[in-house]
Structure 1
Amino acid sequence: MGLKNISATVALWVTFMCFLGISSGEQILDKRFGKLFPFFSIVRITNQPCVPESGSQMGTCFTNTQCEKAAGTVNGKCASGFGVCCVVSATCESTITQNNTVFRNRDAPNSFTPTGLELCNVRISKPNSKICQVKLDFISMNLAPADAMGQCMSDRLSINGATPNVPANLCGMLTGQSMYLDFGSSDRLSMSMITDGAANPSARDWNVKVTYYECNAQLRAPDGCLQYFTAATGQVRMLGYPMAPHLADLDYTVCVRPEDGAGSIVWSHCQGEPAGDVFSMTKAKRMDDTMGMPEDMCNMDYVMIMTDEVMSTAVPMPKMNDRYCGNALKAMPPFTVRSTAKPFIMRVKTDSTEPAEDVMNTGFCLAWRQEPPRPK
């Protein structure tokens, strides 16, 4: 076959593929084409996350046509130069259907100051029937803080249509937090930002990354887990931490995936945090309020860690109660709680008010580490 005939055949093949509208991620390699032209290879663009040439927002590897349809911005190349790193952003009154889309405030990347009461809505729709869950990463989130009772009276983040139910009382600083939301029987979630410039004239900003998970994805959070972590060690901060007072009306579950070979999880105070802030919740009704209390002792603001045993010294102690409140996770160093109950979960609960003596409570920052089973 002459060179001209090869060129003409290749051109005809490319035209035919474009006519079919083959999309990324599909099987586009024809075996007959490979047999005819073994010196050619088909590059598949699989819509994986990509690092843009500039900026900190992750993109998705698309074709030029896909990026244009998604109303994205080309920011570099991917797939060995055959694809483009497409950065997709959404703002008020948008509908999100693309993975790795970022929901941003008006005037982004700058912050803004609302002139009065402003409402900014965004819809998050399932792109296909294989999707069951979405993860929200709060790259930045700075709203007006709660009032002296921990109530979000000026600004509020509201999420509707998701399971588990998201706390309705979210405001202040949520930067660095994340939440996993199930679509359930719905095909769409909605997220609303309510800001009141008359009540608080400070600047606001938000930058929320949206990641979709298929129903059988390994990284999908278990049912009922608003926050989910998949590492042997890490830290978790209460929603709104270290704002004082901490948010009211919280009721959610933090889950940590057990690593292979893990027999227990040990919770402790985060290192490097101010001593008075690292664990600061409503004081229990008796002095030794950090030993794990029965329900009538820690019944306002607390964390619940289901344990088979607790550890306050080098010697394991018998099982105690599962609620912790007050000004430290434990009364004595090393301020640790060990749990062998799987899955590894912690429930966070706050009530609707804060007594005058508790208005400086900030919530908690707790670190975890997973450990192998103890020898019997």
Structure 2
Amino acid sequence: MLSSGTVFVLVVSVLVRSTVSLDTANVTSQSRSGRALSLFEVVKFKNDACNPGGSSGRMGTCYTVDECSRRSGSPSGTCANGFGVCCIMSLSCGGSSSDNCTYLTESMSPGSVMECQYEICKCAPDVCRIRLDFLQHTLVGPVIGTTESGIEDSGNAIGDCITDTFSVKNPRAKSPPDICGFNNGQHMIYDMASPCSSLDFVLGGGGQARNWDIKVTQYKCGEEDVAGPLGCLQYFSNPMGRISSYNFPTTSTTVDENTTHLSRQTYSMCIRREAGMCAICYIPAIIPLVEAADDQASFGLNKGEDAAVDTECRDDYIQIPFGETVDAIEGGPGIQLFCGRAFNVDTAATVPASVCSSHLPFQIHYVTTQNEVDKGKNNEMINFPGGIVGFSLDYRQVPC
């Protein structure tokens, strides 16, 4: 029996997945003296992304302690005014996640032969885009070519991922191209139509260690300003930056003779237009000194020794709608396709130059076929720069 002077206050923390803000609801009862006593406090908060701070830089999702434990997450710091914990979600091979922010982290020793699959499911029915940030993404690279080697009868394999492969299985929507090699710092975004998709690694042995650390973020329909328009495999939100093909050595200041782009690539890269900007210009990020004749610029696609455009670009190319020189923005019909050994609108040029476009939206489309030309004067591995390089371009937006 309770004495008349004893008061019990029961506080219940309840997790709800809803769009309401943090609030409390009181359920009251009357004491013997007629006073209203608070018996329950129901705490409601969103399962939003949270930043626990610290040196790891990892983001989490706000859950209760129990919910974080049930999801096999790691609590790190608090959220929701202390009612929740910032839960860091990490998957190992074979794992599945329906959280807004998840990390996929593995390190594999040389000689590994295995398959590693992750299942990524929508955290809400109205999720439209999945972004993969490759904090680390190093696999065995493709079959490489060697510029100036003049090798023939090997073009069918160059650029192919035949040892290791990373692929996205994306039912009812377009899947990204398969990739391999060095992709640290790159990213990939795909449209999500089915409830779940899978991310698959296939490792085929060899003497190289592999590692990956991938941040998976989900975006709802209507969040194109941060996730990019539908259909854009990469999205860049800064007024200036750098765009590189997959397997390009982005940490190097030179382009060596073995730099090789991946085959079978078809995708679009989009840049958010800043307010007050009316055009965008691109130029190779690496341009060697004239006296260093054997160094390569960070652009080389397809056959030919000089710049090539439009009808000359039948196999590997990038498309910049209505590309023009920096002095002729909006001054002419423009060029659509760019390839060859020099990035330039002038087909007689042997050195790179800026290519600009005022066409909206700001976008590049990239295509490589399954084979490299390795015969005669059109051999893509003869003369610097080689036609097997791929690209790394710096861009800047131009004010109106």
CA distance in 2, matches of 1:188, 1:64: 26
Secondary structure of the 1:66 match is helix
Residue 292 of structure 2 is matched in structure 1 by none
In the alignment, is the contact (CA less than 8 A) between 1:45 and 1:63 conserved in 2?
Answer: no
CA distance in 2, matches of 1:22, 1:320: 55
Seen in structure 2, the aligned counterparts of structure 1 residues 315 and 166 have a Cα distance that, compared at 3 Å, is: closer
CA distance in 2, matches of 1:6, 1:310: 83
1:227 is displaced (CA, Å) by 0.8
Seen in structure 2, the aligned counterparts of structure 1 residues 235 and 5 have a Cα distance that, compared at 3 Å, is: farther
Q: Does 1:167 align with 2:177?
A: yes
Residue 300 of structure 2 is matched in structure 1 by 280
Aligned partner of 2:195 among 187, 190, 201 = 187
The aligned amino acid for 2:184 is T
Residue 336 of structure 1 is matched in structure 2 by 354
Seen in structure 2, the aligned counterparts of structure 1 residues 83 and 304 have a Cα distance that, compared at 3 Å, is: same
More strand by share: 2
Secondary structure of the 2:226 match is coil
1:358 is displaced (CA, Å) by 2.9
* Counterparts of residues 326-365 of structure 1 (less than 5 Å): 326-330=340-344, 331=349, 335-356=353-374, 357-359=379-381, 361-365=388-392
Residue 129 of structure 1 is matched in structure 2 by 125
The aligned amino acid for 2:174 is P
1:304 is displaced (CA, Å) by 0.6
Q: Does 1:370 align with 2:384?
A: no
Aligned partner of 1:146 among 111, 133, 142 = 142
Residue 208 of structure 1 is matched in structure 2 by 214
RMSD (CA atoms) = 3.2
Q: Which deviations, in whole Å up to 9, do the C-alpha atoms of 1:221-260 show, x marking residues without a partner? A: 2121111112211111111113722101111111112222
CA distance in 1, matches of 2:18, 2:247: 40
1:180 is displaced (CA, Å) by 1.1
Seen in structure 2, the aligned counterparts of structure 1 residues 235 and 36 have a Cα distance that, compared at 3 Å, is: farther
Secondary structure of the 2:66 match is helix
1:102 is displaced (CA, Å) by 0.5
The aligned amino acid for 1:126 is K
In the alignment, is the contact (CA less than 8 A) between 2:166 and 2:180 conserved in 1?
Answer: yes
CA distance in 1, matches of 2:359, 2:161: 35
Secondary structure of the 2:263 match is coil
Secondary structure of the 1:219 match is helix
Aligned partner of 1:237 among 231, 244, 258 = 244
Q: Does 1:302 align with 2:302?
A: no
In the alignment, is the contact (CA less than 8 A) between 1:164 and 1:223 conserved in 2?
Answer: no
How many correspondences in the alignment? Answer: 347
CA distance in 2, matches of 1:42, 1:315: 57
* Counterparts of residues 1-376 of structure 1 (less than 5 Å): 8=8, 11-12=9-10, 14-15=11-12, 17-18=13-14, 21-22=15-16, 26-27=20-21, 29-30=23-24, 44=45, 46-105=47-106, 111-113=107-109, 115-148=111-144, 149-161=158-170, 163-168=173-178, 170-184=179-193, 186-197=194-205, 200-217=206-223, 218-242=225-249, 244-270=259-285, 276-284=296-304, 288-290=306-308, 293-295=309-311, 297-307=312-322, 310-311=324-325, 318-330=332-344, 331=349, 335-356=353-374, 357-359=379-381, 361-373=388-400
TM-score, structure 1 normalization = 0.82
Instruction: Give the % identical residues.
Output: 29
CA distance in 2, matches of 1:225, 1:93: 28
Between stretches 275-284 and 218-227, larger displacement belongs to 275-284
Seen in structure 2, the aligned counterparts of structure 1 residues 25 and 5 have a Cα distance that, compared at 3 Å, is: farther
Structure 1: give runs of 5+ residues left out of the alignment.
106-110
Secondary structure of the 1:368 match is strand
Structure 2: give runs of 5+ residues left out of the alignment.
28-35, 145-157, 250-257, 290-294
The aligned amino acid for 2:357 is S
1:75 is displaced (CA, Å) by 2.5
Q: Which deviations, in whole Å up to 9, do the C-alpha atoms of 1:81-126 show, x marking residues without a partner? A: 4432221111111112112211122xxxxx3225453100111111
In the alignment, is the contact (CA less than 8 A) between 2:174 and 2:191 conserved in 1?
Answer: yes
More helix by share: 1
Between stretches 87-96 and 67-76, larger displacement belongs to 67-76
Seen in structure 2, the aligned counterparts of structure 1 residues 32 and 93 have a Cα distance that, compared at 3 Å, is: closer
The aligned amino acid for 1:302 is Y
The aligned amino acid for 2:23 is L
In the alignment, is the contact (CA less than 8 A) between 1:264 and 1:371 conserved in 2?
Answer: yes
CA distance in 1, matches of 2:200, 2:42: 46
Secondary structure of the 2:69 match is helix
Between stretches 222-231 and 139-148, larger displacement belongs to 222-231
Between stretches 149-158 and 112-121, larger displacement belongs to 112-121
In the alignment, is the contact (CA less than 8 A) between 1:133 and 1:181 conserved in 2?
Answer: yes
1:165 is displaced (CA, Å) by 2.8
In the alignment, is the contact (CA less than 8 A) between 2:306 and 2:350 conserved in 1?
Answer: no
1:205 is displaced (CA, Å) by 0.5
1:281 is displaced (CA, Å) by 1.7
In the alignment, is the contact (CA less than 8 A) between 1:50 and 1:61 conserved in 2?
Answer: no
In the alignment, is the contact (CA less than 8 A) between 2:113 and 2:203 conserved in 1?
Answer: yes
CA distance in 1, matches of 2:212, 2:310: 39
